């Protein structure tokens, strides 16, 4: 729906119900019932771009209560007076995690996530995570977009696992252990010669931090090349 303040502001409101008979959060793969309520406020018109989302989750997994949430905030400004129309952006995500073994489960469930939520490599799932992502987009012409950015990532809680897509545990919790997961350097290039065709090239270099290395993780290089046609 459009919002009454400012030109081009919109809001999304949604509810998603999940019933999982083989939950990663229930001992022995028990049942999980999770309710997700969220709102997104966004604007992509004019020089300023905003995109923020607030999500709350509750329910139960096995015999334990769920109380989790996530906050994502993004802001950018298009510098139309400069060559290549640069668009610097800053995005920050705080995604809950934590599990003391007897009380509530605070692990956020990303539900039906896109694996490239943080970058094209998609090595880390958005659960039990803090992410800081400065990024710069450049437009040499109307049909080409170049991107460069970096992700800095930490565990939200050391009393929870590291998760990889599609929401699998990559290691056991290490209470009081290291929190820094690593740094991902990202490059991308997109060319749309027509409205219906797109060429895309991306590279991600993920340097494992101490928390990821303690779980057996290593540095990873990822290269993607794709072509898309719409009809």
Domains within the chain, CATH numbers bracketed:
10-229 (2.40.160.100)
On average, the pLDDT of the chain sits at: 93
**139-to-147, 209, 226 alpha-carbon distances in Å:** 9, 33, 19
- 201 φ, ψ (degrees, to nearest 5): -135, 130
What counts of helices (H) and strands (E) characterise the chain?
Answer: 1, 12
Confidence (pLDDT) at 103: 81
Tokens 């540095």 belong to 219
- Dihedral sign for Cα 208, 212, 218, 223, please: negative
Give the Cα separation of 206 and 152 in Å (integer): 10
Confidence (pLDDT) at 121: 87
Which H or E element spans position 140?
Answer: strand 129-141
CB atoms within 10 A of CB 82: 9
Of 79-83, 89-93, 158-162, 172-176, the range with the lowest mean pLDDT is: 172-176
Give the residue ranges of DSSP H helices in the chain.
Answer: 210-214
CB atoms within 10 A of CB 84: 14
Confidence (pLDDT) at 151: 97
Question: pLDDT category, 85, cuts 50, 70, 90?
Answer: very high
pLDDT digit string, tens, across residues 20-36:
999 999 877 789 999 99
Tokens 């450049």 belong to 138
Q: Average pLDDT in the 147-166 region?
A: 95
**215-to-15, 46, 164, 211 alpha-carbon distances in Å:** 34, 44, 12, 7
């Amino acid at each position: 729906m459009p919002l009454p303040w400012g030109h081009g502001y919109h809001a999304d409101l949604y509810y998603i119900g999940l019933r999982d008979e083989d939950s990663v959060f229930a001992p022995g793969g028990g049942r999980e019932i999770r309710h997700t309520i969220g709102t997104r406020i966004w604007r992509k018109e004019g020089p300023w771009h905003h995109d923020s989302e607030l999500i709350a989750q509750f329910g139960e997994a096995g015999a334990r209560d769920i109380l989790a949430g996530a906050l994502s905030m993004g802001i950018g400004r298009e510098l139309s007076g400069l060559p290549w129309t640069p668009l610097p952006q800053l995005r920050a995500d705080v995604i809950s995690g934590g599990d003391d073994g007897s009380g509530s489960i605070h692990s956020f469930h990303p539900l039906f996530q896109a694996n490239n939520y943080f970058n094209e490599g998609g090595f880390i799932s958005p659960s039990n995570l803090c992410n800081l992502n400065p990024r710069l987009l450049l437009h040499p012409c109307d049909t080409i977009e170049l991107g460069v950015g970096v992700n800095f990532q930490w565990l939200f809680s050391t009393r929870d696992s590291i998760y990889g897509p599609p929401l699998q545990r990559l290691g056991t919790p290490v209470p009081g252990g290291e929190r820094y997961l690593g740094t991902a350097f990202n490059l991308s290039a997109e060319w749309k010669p027509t409205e219906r065709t797109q060429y895309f090239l991306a590279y991600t270099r993920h340097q494992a931090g101490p928390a990821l290395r303690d779980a057996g993780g290593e540095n990873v290089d990822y290269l993607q090349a794709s072509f898309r046609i719409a009809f």
